Amino acid sequence: MKYDYFTQKKKLLDQYRPLPKALVRNLDEWFRIELTYTSNAIEGNTLTRQETALIVEKGLTVGGKTLIEHLEATNHAHAIDWVKMQINRKPKDLSEKDILRIHDIILKGIDDENAGHYRRVAVRISGSTVVLPNPRKVPDLMSEFINYLKQADLHPVELAAEAHYRLVTIHPFSDGNGRTARLLMNIILMMNGYPMAIIRKSDRLAYISALEKAQLGGSKQDYFNLISKAVDRSLEIYLKAVEGETDEESVEGKLLKIGELAKQVGETNATIRYWTQQNLLIVAEVTDSGYQLYSPEMIARIKKIQLLKKERYTLQEIKEKL
């Protein structure tokens, strides 16, 4: 995929700027949960998309899941919030301090001793033959990496992908390298006006395989293709949203996405997810990508829930009346 393609596609999106505030809010909320869910899932976190949303948006505890998995969700969401505050800067202004800050947020409360610090021990990637740099070399390699970011003259999408690859290959931390690298990639994309790129859970094996192939001296093309497709998907999500098109995850307009349902009834996505988890709402269909779709009949059901809540019925009492 040629990088000029992304320039032209971004120009299409730029024609709609400034985007409506409500639309930006909805997209930000979706990307925040989706990136948190997928990035953690790639690293082995077992939280579902819905559980991730409940923890991040509602502050709820999910039974049967570890404290670390809960912290990984909240920490990653907080890291995204921090990243968004940096997007008015330039990629060449990024520093080691910024990368350490991202890592510190990701591992807060999980591994405070190593959070925000380069590793001091040798590490291996489980199941891989890739030999990672000696820990004594990490500080110099990171200094060289930052100099590279300051001097690189690449298309923003290529630079973001290259930065991701180089950081994860240096593997400067004892844990959290992948999540930090993916956030670094996204901070570079957003600094250049692109939406965040999401590597899907379903692409996990292809992603790991493409990275390993390049790290063992093979071509980087598979890796760059995978990242390019992720960027393209995100641009499509934004363009379809601003153009008012129905997302491909819906079925002929008969079923409603969670955001569409929430808008119809004046509730937040988080509330719809919570009511679904509490079995107040029924999911009509789950797509291959894991998106929940609702029947329009749920609109009347929600209005009944809203009325019962105003009358101060408990959740259990509401369930009995539905």
Q: What is the C-alpha separation between 249 and 237, in angstroms, rounded?
A: 11
Q: Are residues 176 and 229 in the same domain?
A: yes
Q: For position 119, which CATH number holds?
A: 1.10.3290.10
Check whether 253 has a pLDDT greater than 80. no
| 284-301 pLDDT tens trace | 888 877 788 998 889 888
The pLDDT confidence band at residue 48, using thresholds 50, 70 and 90, is: very high
CATH number at residue 264: 1.10.1660.10
Question: For 214-224, what is the mean pLDDT?
Answer: 97
3-state secondary structure of 175: coil
Domain end, chosen from 191, 218, 242, is at 242
Verify that 120 and 159 share a domain, yes or no: yes
Regarding whether 312 and 179 lie in a shared domain, the answer is no
Question: 3-class DSSP state for residue 36?
Answer: helix
Q: Say which residue, 316 or 209, is predicted with more confidence.
A: 209
- Answer whether residue 248 is part of any domain: no
Residue 245 banded pLDDT, cuts 50, 70, 90: very low
Quote the percentage of the chain above a pLDDT of 70: 96
Mean pLDDT across the stretch 311-320? Answer: 86
The first and second tokens of residue 73, run together, are 């969700």
pLDDT band with cut points at 50, 70 and 90 for residue 238:
very high
The CA–CA distances, whole Å, from 191 to 67, 87, 125, 187, 267 equal: 33, 4, 30, 6, 31
Residue 311 belongs to some domain of the structure: yes
Examine the pLDDT at 251 and tell me if it is beyond 50: no
Nearest to 227 by CA among 182, 192, 191: 182
- In this structure, the answer to whether residues 161 and 304 fall within a common structural domain is no
Q: Do 62 and 141 belong together in one domain? A: yes
In the chain, the number of structural domains is: 2
> How far is CA 12 from its chain centroid?
23
Same domain, 180 and 290: no
**Would residue 250 count as lying in a domain?**
no
Residue 287 shares a structural domain with residue 145: no
What confidence tier does 114 reach under pLDDT thresholds 50, 70, 90?
very high
pLDDT in tens, 139-168: 999 999 999 999 999 999 999 999 999 999
Q: Are both 48 and 190 inside the same structural domain? A: yes
Q: What is the pLDDT of residues 51-78, one digit of tens each?
A: 999 999 999 999 999 999 999 999 999 9
Q: How confident is the model at residue 247 (pLDDT cuts 50, 70, 90)?
A: very low
This prediction has a pTM of 0.79
Domain end call among 187, 213, 242: 242
Look up the domain containing 146 and give its range. Answer: 3-242
61 is a domain residue: yes
Burial class (CB in 10 A: 0-12, 13-18, 19+), 15: exposed
Residue 48 lies in a domain: yes
pLDDT of residue 246: 38
Residues 125 and 267 in one domain: no
* Residues 205 and 267 grouped into a single domain: no
In this structure, is residue 247 part of a structural domain? no
CA–CA separation, 154 vs 69, rounded Å?
36
How many residues make up the chain in this entry? 322
For position 313, what pLDDT does the model report? 85
Task: Say if residue 144 is in the same domain as residue 291.
Answer: no
Q: Note whether residue 11 is domain-resident.
A: yes
pLDDT exceeds 70 at position 191 = yes
Instruction: Tell whether 151 is covered by a domain.
Output: yes
Output the pLDDT for position 312: 86
Active-site residue identified among 70, 76, 103, 171: 171
Token reading at 315: 């959740």
Mean pLDDT (the chain) is: 92
Domain boundary among 194, 210, 242: 242
- Measured N-to-C along each axis, helices 297-310 and 258-265 cross at an angle, to the nearest 10 degrees, of 50
**Pair 237, 261 in one domain:** no
Q: Is 171 a catalytic residue?
A: yes
Instruction: Look at residue 106 and tell me whether its pLDDT is greater than 80.
Output: yes
Query: What average pLDDT does this structure show over 25-54?
Result: 95
